[in-house]
Amino acid sequence: MSAKPKPAAKAAPQTDWKRVVDLVQTSRAMDAIEERELVPGKKIFYQFSARGHDMAQVLLGLHLTHPKDAMCGYYRSRPILLSLGVALEDALGSAMGRAGGYSDGRDIGVVFNYPNANGASALPMCGGVGAQYTPTAGYAQAIEYAKNVLGDRSFDGAIGVVLGGDASVATNGFWSALTMATTLKLPMLFYIEDNGYGISTPGWLQTPGQNIAKNLASFSGLKICDGDGADPAEASELIADAVAHVRGGNGPALVHLAVPRLQGHSFQDTQAYKSKDIVDAEWARDPLPKLKAHVVPSLISEKDWDAAQAKAEENVRRAVQIADQRPVSEPSQVTRFVFSEDGVLQDEGGILNAGYSAPRVSAEPKPEGARINMITAIRRVLDNELAVNPRVLVFGEDVGPKGGVHGVTLGLQEKYGVERVFDTSLSEEGIIGRAVGMAIAGLMPVPEIQFRKYADPACEQINDCGTMRWRTANRFAAPMVVRMPVGFFKCGDPWHSQTNEVQFVHSPGWRVACPSNAEDAVGLLRTALRGNDPVMFLEHRNMLDAASARRPYPGDDFALPFGVAKRVREGGDITIVTWGAMVERCEAAAETAGVSADILDLRTLAPWDSEAVLASVKRTHRCLIVHEDIGTAGFGAEIAAVVADRAFLDLDAPVARMTMPDIPSPHHPDLMEWALPSVERIAAKIQELVRF
């Protein structure tokens, strides 16, 4: 049987040079008024000129005509935003930090986003160099998923486009995205603007040979387009060729264009590191005179050119006046939108925006059959949610045929196919970054990080994902569930046995769950998978198959709210606050101590149930906090501070903590057990506090 032929690629649109002139002149006028008036007048705090980069960006932007196209830029990408239709007063108002615009004044004005209901959107860019690549790859993968799995033909021909300077091709994000795009043949266009510098560092220190396109010439599955971004005809042809290639279903392409950076890295940059000859040579390559020579008089007259310049300057000045009249947003509102708010849906991102309506749930368990371990419980939830929600995808290193290094995803790929349960390249940056793009595209990604320590390379993407809703003032959000095994098992070590939950609690925008048993794991995971916020779901390795953590399966309708602690043992002499693997040990310690202890399993750390803790302390007048993480700045310190602040007069003894010492987890079981809070030491501390 012959393969089904690919649809013929649509002819690339003819370049609207009049529109190019208008947009480039507008970009120049914006740079000029910012540099001459707004920055000196202290109305703009960060300014990045796009002079030299502007013409080629506009040419690219005018190709993004598909309603499902998306692009992600960086701090010098305003010209392409203008070509997508961003209002001048929004662009300038955002630079001035005023209400409205990209972020309501919460983020730097050059950190763009644009939820475009009428065309291509600009995905929320990040302040970090290279952080834009893997989310764009994830969006491109979501395009393929929407077409091939969901059968959504509205994504046919859509592409993901990412912009970056040449210095950014040295980052992990670039190489991870390149691996994803080429191995999966994603509809993704890499657009690299090479101005020869990364701030002050010359290109020869960034890229061998100073040309990433030449280095990638033999990279399998990647079309390369390399040329002069200051030459109107050449840039137009190269961009059109690359876009047509990607839209035609032929896989990714990379456009590398040499452009001059005609101002400093930012307004404050004097470019003292460049000689006069270099600066003069850059200005000699200014694309604006070249654009004029290209269109005057063949397409427009000299008079038309001058009129376009005057009109652009007039429009920009009027937009400045409008933007300057906008107020600073109400300071008391700046704490909103760290998390989702009922009745206020973000403009783009998440399964709720995609029209998904979750089945009804119940907080009352309906036990089914024999007790099961946490591995089986988590797998059953993933199985059920994959079945009822076609937008759920499970992926990570070794989650496919192997079923994960802990066996949690065993059999899911066989049941749901490689499009929905799949292995990834070995890049945690890429795993989380692609999840961000998928979530923005309306999917529910469930990435797995094999061990807590392995999340470190992904921390930039984790932090950027968590702050997305807040820094875009609820314009974008990327709900997902990151599954991550944590903690000790039969032995310890610095690489597989870390907990460090507090790092994620300290990343605004992330909900953090840490169940201690199978029933709670089911309820919290189901809530996370049907929610509208990113969730860090921590699966303690020692509890995955522990007998004490086994429970009957509570049913496919069972879901637990976040922020509600569970009383696992009721007593009146002391309050013990704990979570994860320490719940089991605290129960045993209370029994050993022979003390009436009120033991609270927090279950979630963000949010955490401070009211339940305070109410318990008011009854028992004593508080012991037990956790596996190290003591200094561990989450127990936050609990202790809240108890001391709000229940000080109720205490009959100091608030106490029992934790690991400030060391990584030791490897040998004897050393590990010495470092962990043991049943005996917890029991002794309980008795000490009760006798105080």
Closest by alpha carbon to 500, among 486, 490, 514, 511?
A: 486
For helices 679-691 and 582-593, angle between their N-to-C axes, nearest 10 degrees = 50
Number of Cβ atoms within 10 Å of the Cβ of 663: 10
How many degrees, rounded to 5, is the angle at CA 506 between CA 535 and CA 495? Answer: 80
- Rounded-to-integer distance, Cα 397 and Cα 51, Å: 42
The one-character DSSP state at 126 is -
CB atoms within 10 A of CB 596: 14
Tokens describing residue 31: 């740079």
Tallying the residues shown for the chain, one arrives at 692
**CB under 8 Å to 641, separation ≥6 — which residues?**
none
**Rounded to an integer, what distance in angstroms lies between the CA atom of residue 430 and that of residue 177?**
7
Q: 């654009």: which residue's tokens?
A: 291
The answer to whether residues 612 and 580 touch, using CB atoms and an 8 Å cutoff, is: no
Asked about 294 being catalytic, the answer comes back as no
3-state class (DSSP) for residue 628 = strand
Residues 6 or more apart in contact with residue 166 via CB below 8 angstroms: 192, 193, 194, 195, 196, 198, 203, 206, 207, 210, 212, 256
Q: 10 Å Cβ neighbour count for 559? A: 24
Q: Which of 265, 496, 621, 627 is catalytic?
A: 496
Identity of residue 360: R
The whole-angstrom separation of Cα 70 and Cα 464 is 18
| 592 in Cβ contact with 554 (< 8 Å) | no
| Cβ(138)–Cβ(123) below 8 Å | no
Bridge partners (DSSP) listed for residue 453: none
CB contact at 8 A, 513 and 496: no
CA distance 549 to 585: 12
Q: Which two tokens stand for residue 527?
A: 């809530």
The residue written with tokens 């008011």 in the block is 618
Burial of 313 (0-12, 13-18, 19+ CB in 10 A): middle
What's the CA gap between 555 and 426, in Å, rounded?
Answer: 35
Compute the distance between CA of residue 19 and CA of residue 304 in angstroms, rounded to an integer.
12
For tokens 């000790």, the residue is 488
Question: Which H or E element spans position 128?
Answer: none
Q: Residue 201 belongs to what H/E stretch?
A: strand 201-202
Cβ-based neighbours of 262, under 8 Å, separated by 6 or more: 49, 51, 52, 282, 283, 286
3-class DSSP state for residue 508?
Answer: coil
Residues with a known catalytic role: 496
